[in-house]
Amino acid sequence: MEVRHIPYLLLLPAIAYLLFFIGYPLIQALYLAFTKNGAFSLETVRRATSDPTFWQALKYTISLAIAIVPIQLILALILALAVNRAFKGKDFTIYALIIPLTISDVAAGLIWYTMLSDYGFMNKLLLNLGLISQPIHFFGYEYRTMEFLAIVIAEVWRATAIVFVIILAGLQMISREYLEAAEVFGAGYWTRLRKIVIPMLKPSIQSALIIRTLFAMQVFGIVWILAGRDIPVLAGEGFYQLMEIKDYGVASIYALTIALLSIILGALYVKFLKAEYLEVRT
Amino acid sequence: MRKAVGILAALLLAVAVFASGCIGGGGPTKIVWASTQLNPPEERAFVLNELIPPFKDEAGIDVEFVPISYSDLATRLEGEEQSGKVTIDVVADLHGGLDYFNAKGWLTDLSDKVKTLQGRTFIESYMNYATDKNGKVFYVPWMSATYVMVVNKEAFKYLPSGLTEQDVIQGTEKWTYDALLAWVKNIYEKTGKKAFGLPAGPKGLLHRFIHGYLYPSFTGYEAKKFDSSEAIDMWNYFKELWKYTNPASTTWDAMADPLLQGEVLIAWDHTARIKNAIVTKPDQFVVVPVPRGPEGRGFIVVLAGLAIPKNAPHPDEAWKLIDYLTKPETQVKVLEKVGFFPTVKEAANAVPEGPLKILVEGVTAQSSTKDALIVMIPNLGEKGGEFSGLYREAFKRIVLQGEDPQKVLGELGPKLHNLFKEKGIPEP
């Protein structure tokens, strides 16, 4: 066998896997979404997009991502910088920070639902402290803003850890020599952060952003628990159409919308956040 | 040496073949029981470990339990009946499905056999459903379920004038939807609490409350008068009721937890979904009939029955299984373990004191109210989701978003009537 064929052979299992588990379902979804009685038809697309819920789901999915991802990034950066130095109890702090990562989104949703409900921990605490006289309502169609807030709180609590881990790993890869050299030349903390740490963290930030934003497009469990369908999101509506209404065509449109959004966002990140290494630049 | 081993192996094989033939021939008959009910894993475990073994010991008949979906069952039964090669002995399904199978002529007449069943009285209305217009009994009523109201005893302190605790518990004339509104309004004014609760979350059964309770009580029909003027009155009533309904209802799928947490004092839900509240705090709750509306007291009964397909391979053994499953003691066991209600009166009386008794009393009180207007969930097959979806959409637009009921019903009405037209089913 010729040597130049070997790489292709080695790729074969992966390609077979992708074809079977991603290619086939994708074709199936396209078929369900764009055909009627075996012929090409846009009827399903029209049925899905004529429902105002579709546009609300799109709007809420994107606004949740816009609200959650930047908070997570900034919070994770602050936390990572805080623990990236030697102090007593450092390991313990890191473990404590990543505990929420081990909890499933549904469980996290349930925890926050119980905490924020009318007779939950938060309201009881505020009532007992005399700060409020009536419980603050977080849940219900009339309180969608509060539900939105509850989702943001729960998501930040649950999923900041993954961004934190990625950024911490990136921080630890930055050689101390750069920082020491900068210090010798009189660069203060902010200058070092701006000129060295952040640029060198770019690859980590990029990975973290891609992962978080793509996950945000699929956000489902937490929203479902905290707000039901008061706040529709794409994944939730897809599930609802599939399981309750049994409209497989419309469910596929939701799934394809998530896929399309993910591809576009992924491409944008790769294009505009090109990873730069100081070594390459100099 | 090698030869000896070979001969030994051949001999062993021959003995094994012979022995298996003997065992197969002389063993118990095995019958096939295809069921669309009791399919979730824990219910299936109950069937396999607790329901079938005593029958096998007693009657010497082995049962193969085949959990199956309605559409698969319909396809399989159709294929078997048409080819004449039937393998299913007993079919368990909901009323709607069995009614369809009977209309297709796939079920045996059980009229004579039902009379031979000893020591059990079937609830009359259930037996009526099981009998077709030619007087043929095409299934034996097996299990039932319904949706009821649960009241936290605390709420009785705030009864509006003219309504007594007994009215509510027995479901008298005075226990109306207007009385319910006056009651929850009173609680709100005295305590500031929105005490009524509905399972209006995405997996909650709110659509059943609308099409099976409010609609028949206000219009006399589930779907026929969907966009009538009576329906508009009903929706205006619902909007009023929603003012005193806990707003978090839109996030609740089942009412047991909100009841236990004290977030609501009065709730409506499926019996299986409130069971946990009653079992946890039996002293705190009572199960009561639903209120009545201008047209009567509409409520849904989910009825499951057992039937024998035509040309079933073992009809006598199949009948023995049906006999066993409808015995009062078997029905009490089913109620205790999986929460489906008995279809024979003797079983209802045999339930021991405790939480289940509270449930059974409420359900029995509801089904024996004089103005009872029993409705069944229409059997729309794969369109069932769309049917429920339309009622939910009406709720969302009229009650939550405050749109004009006339406009919304005018838009959704034709879609609903079309569903029945497409399926060729008369509108209930």
A230 and A144 in contact (C-beta within 8 Å)? yes
The residue written with tokens 């095409």 in the block is B138
Locate the domains of chain A by residue range.
Answer: 1-40, 52-273
CATH topology of domain A52-273: MetI-like fold (1.10.3720)
A118 vs B: CB within 8 A:
yes
B113 and B316 in contact (C-beta within 8 Å)? no
Pairing, β B30-35 against β B266-270? unpaired
- Structure confidence at residue B59 as a pLDDT band (50, 70, 90): very high
Residues 6+ apart with CB under 8 A from B69: B36
Distance CA A49, CA A34 (A): 13
> What is the complex's ipTM, to 2 decimals?
0.84
Which residue in B363, B243, B216 sits closest to B298, CA to CA?
Answer: B216
pLDDT of the residue at A3? 83
Q: Tell me the CA end-to-end span of chain A in Å, nearest whole number.
A: 43
Domains and CATH numbers, chain B: 2-144+303-364 (3.40.190.10), 146-300+374-423 (3.40.190.10)
Nearest CA in chain A to B262: A119
- The rounded mean pLDDT for chain A is 91
pLDDT of the residue at B191? 94
Which residues of chain A does B386 touch, with a Cβ-Cβ cutoff of 8 Å? 245-247
- Report helix, strand or coil for B133: coil
The answer, yes or no, to whether residue B24 has pLDDT greater than 50, is no
Pairing, β B30-35 against β B62-67? parallel
The residue written with tokens 């929203």 in the block is A223
The pLDDT tens digits of the residues spanning B303-362 come to 999 999 999 999 999 999 999 999 999 999 999 888 899 998 888 888 888 888 899 889
> Helices A198-217 and A52-83: crossing angle, nearest 10°?
150
User: What's the mean pLDDT in A232-253?
Assistant: 92
Quick one: how far is CA A17 from the chain centroid? 25
pLDDT of the residue at B7? 66
pLDDT of the residue at B353? 87
Q: What percentage of chain A exceeds 70 in pLDDT? A: 96
DSSP for residue A133: S
A51 vs B: CB within 8 A:
no
The pLDDT tens digits of the residues spanning A75-109 come to 999 999 999 888 899 999 999 999 988 899 999 99
The answer, yes or no, to whether residue A278 has pLDDT greater than 70, is no
Pick from A61-65, A260-264, B92-96, B367-371: least confident = B367-371
Answer yes or no: do A245 and B385 touch at CB < 8 A: yes
Answer yes or no: do B250 and A247 touch at CB < 8 A: no
| Contact map slice: B 229-258 vs A, CB within 8 A | 246-253
User: What's the mean pLDDT in B223-246?
Assistant: 97
Nearest CA in chain A to B402: A142
Of B251, B385, B388, Cβ closest to residue A228? B251
B163 and B183 in contact (C-beta within 8 Å)? yes
**Tokens representing residue B48 in the block:** 């396999």
The answer, yes or no, to whether residue B80 has pLDDT greater than 50, is yes
Which residues of chain A does B249 touch, with a Cβ-Cβ cutoff of 8 Å? 140
The answer, yes or no, to whether residue A269 has pLDDT greater than 90, is no
The residue written with tokens 């394809």 in the block is A256
- The rounded mean pLDDT for chain B is 91
The pLDDT tens digits of the residues spanning B248-306 come to 999 999 999 999 999 999 999 999 889 889 999 999 999 999 999 999 999 999 999 99
Distance CA B159, CA B413 (A): 37
Answer yes or no: do B389 and A119 touch at CB < 8 A: no
- Structure confidence at residue A282 as a pLDDT band (50, 70, 90): very low
**Tokens representing residue B72 in the block:** 């698969």
Choose the mutation target among B208, B250, B253 for the interface with A, i.e. most A CBs under 10 Å: B250
Answer yes or no: do A244 and B388 touch at CB < 8 A: yes
DSSP H or E segment with residue B366:
helix B355-367
pLDDT of the residue at B5? 62
**Tokens representing residue A11 in the block:** 């790729």
pLDDT of the residue at B210? 98
pLDDT of the residue at B39? 87
Answer yes or no: do A140 and B389 touch at CB < 8 A: no
Answer yes or no: do B385 and A246 touch at CB < 8 A: yes
Burial of A188-218, coded b for 16+ CB within 10 Å and e otherwise, reads: eeeebbeebbeebbebbbbbbbbebbbbbbb
Distance CA B70, CA A241 (A): 20
pLDDT of the residue at B137? 95
Answer yes or no: do A118 and B251 touch at CB < 8 A: no
CB count within 10 Å of CB B230 equals 15
- Structure confidence at residue A276 as a pLDDT band (50, 70, 90): low
Which residues of chain B does A57 touch, with a Cβ-Cβ cutoff of 8 Å? none
The answer, yes or no, to whether residue A64 has pLDDT greater than 70, is yes
> Helices B95-103 and B70-83: crossing angle, nearest 10°?
20
B260 vs A: CB within 8 A:
no
Rounded to a whole number, what is the distance in Å from the CA of A227 to chain B's nearest CA? 6
User: In chain A, which residue ranges form alpha helices assigned H by DSSP?
Assistant: 6-18, 24-34, 43-49, 52-83, 90-98, 105-116, 121-128, 144-173, 176-184, 189-192, 198-217, 221-227, 234-240, 248-272, 278-281
- Structure confidence at residue B21 as a pLDDT band (50, 70, 90): very low
Amino acid in position B285: F
**Tokens representing residue B188 in the block:** 């709100």
B343 vs A: CB within 8 A:
no
A117 vs B: CB within 8 A:
yes
- Report helix, strand or coil for B86: coil
**Tokens representing residue B391 in the block:** 């009622």
The pLDDT tens digits of the residues spanning B151-200 come to 999 999 999 999 999 999 999 999 999 999 999 999 999 999 999 999 99
| Contact map slice: A 63-92 vs B, CB within 8 A | none
Amino acid in position A11: L
- Structure confidence at residue B40 as a pLDDT band (50, 70, 90): confident
Q: What percentage of chain B exceeds 90 in pLDDT? A: 73
CB count within 10 Å of CB B23 equals 8
Answer yes or no: do B263 and A230 touch at CB < 8 A: no
Answer yes or no: do A117 and B263 touch at CB < 8 A: yes
Rounded to a whole number, what is the distance in Å from the CA of B277 to chain A's nearest CA? 17
pLDDT of the residue at A119? 85
Nearest CA in chain A to B257: A114
Which residues of chain A does B203 touch, with a Cβ-Cβ cutoff of 8 Å? 244
A222 and A109 in contact (C-beta within 8 Å)? yes
